[in-house]
Structures are given as C-alpha cells and as structure tokens.
Structure 1
C-alpha cells in the first residue's frame, strides 16, 4: 500500500516575512554606500539619499520584527533571530536620528552606525533564511 505524505506548509518562513526580510539588507547596504559616497565627496545629497534609504530600511525592519515576534510566539522562530532583529532596529533608529541632523554633522558617526546596521542586517537575514529546509522540516 502506498502512502502519500502531504505537507500543509512547504516553507519554514512565511512568504511575506521572507519578502520584508529580503528588503532589509539591501536598504541598509544602500544607506551604507550612500554614507560612504558622502564621506568621500561631502556632497549633501548623498546624506539625503542615506536618510531616505534608512527610512525604508526601518519600515522593512519593523515589519520583519513583527513577523519574527509572531513567529516566536507561534514557536516557529528562535529567540536569537528576534533579538538580532530588535538590535538592528534599535541601532537603525539611532542611525536615523543621526541622519536627521544637518548634513555636515552626520559624519563620522553616521558611517559607523551604517556599518553596524548593515552587519546586523546581514546576520539577521542569514539567521532568518537559514531555517529554510526542503519540505519545511526543521
């Protein structure tokens, strides 16, 4: 007798969660690159680009954090993922406050905070997508 196993959910991370988590790293990386360009040229428009990219990154990080907390409550996420995402959000918020200052006052703290945010976003994305398995098994 043949038996067929049907999995109700073939993924370990919800597609919406994957989409917002996938947007976190590129936006923080874009802000880092804009800060680096501003550091090299001191053209104020690069600081404006970085500030807007940070706003987008914070929106995506907030949505990913909410999804991570929901997954944590439902038992599908680990605590380390939610903590790294929360720290990313906190450092990103401080970075947004730094970029809200005058363009000349952004450096060098803005660049350092952008590096930290990008590394944290990379770690959070790595942890978030490392739970993907064939068939959704852990």
Structure 2
C-alpha cells in the first residue's frame, strides 16, 4: 500500500511541477490553480503514507518488516515541502512564481527518492 500511495504522490507532484512551469512560460493564471490542487493532492497522499508508515513502525517495533527510518524521514520531508509549496502557491501568481517552481522541483526529487527507498524496503521485507 505504501508504494501505491507514494507513487500517486509522485505523479501528482510531477503534474504540479509541469503546471508551475506552464505558468512560468505562458502567464495563464489557471496553471497556478492546477498546481495548487495537484500539490494539495500530493500532500494528502504523502500524509496518508506517513501516518500509515508510523503506525506500521509502532506496531512492529522490534520485528523485521517495519518501514526504515530513512523512509519515514523522507516522507516527513515530502510533507514539509508540500505544505510549504501549498502556502507559497496561495499567494498571487507572480508573487509565488520563482519559489513555487523551485519547491515543485524539490518536491518531485524528494518524493521520487522516497519512493525508491520505499520500494527497496518493500523488496527486502518480501524477500525470504
């Protein structure tokens, strides 16, 4: 379930990045609305994945199969960057623009790396 949640967040973050880039190049205000909604969606998915991973780690405290700590830190960083990006996108279009674009790039990189960490962790848990 972690992989599904994180990979949905990857696609939404990538969509937000492309929407921010489209606004940067075309100056059509609707692109910032798209980016705002896509960022909020990615934040929801990473938040649910983070809560799920924390509960799973708490329930499997001493056993193998708990999510790695680096994965939890990555999800926390993704949530923090997503929240900051949402707050920046709440501004006027041009007031938010350089920061929103760079935060989108950072969000895509973070969620992709975190998804990779989660996939590696899932393979280790499933392998005999």
Distance 1:135 1:115 in 2: 30
Instruction: Give secondary structure in 2 for the equivalent of 1:108.
Output: helix
Distance 1:135 1:41 in 2: 46
Task: Verify: 1:41 aligned to 2:49, yes or no.
Answer: no
1:56 to 41, 46, 65: 41
Aligned to 2:113: 123
- When Rg is computed on C-alpha atoms for both structures, the one with the higher figure is 1
Task: Verify: 1:93 aligned to 2:83, yes or no.
Answer: yes
For structure 1, the 5+ residue unaligned runs are 1-15
Q: Deviation of residue 135 (structure 1)? A: 8.0
Give every structure 1 segment of 4 or more consecutive aligned residues whose post-TM-superposition deviation is greater than 6 Å.
none
For structure 2, the 5+ residue unaligned runs are none
Q: How many residues align?
A: 123
Distance 1:106 1:96 in 2: 10
TM-score calculated relative to the size of structure 1: 0.83
TM-score calculated relative to the size of structure 2: 0.89
CA RMSD of aligned residues (A): 1.6
Aligned to 1:66: 51
Compared CA separation, residues 125 and 111, structure 1 to 2 (3 A): same
Aligned to 1:81: 71
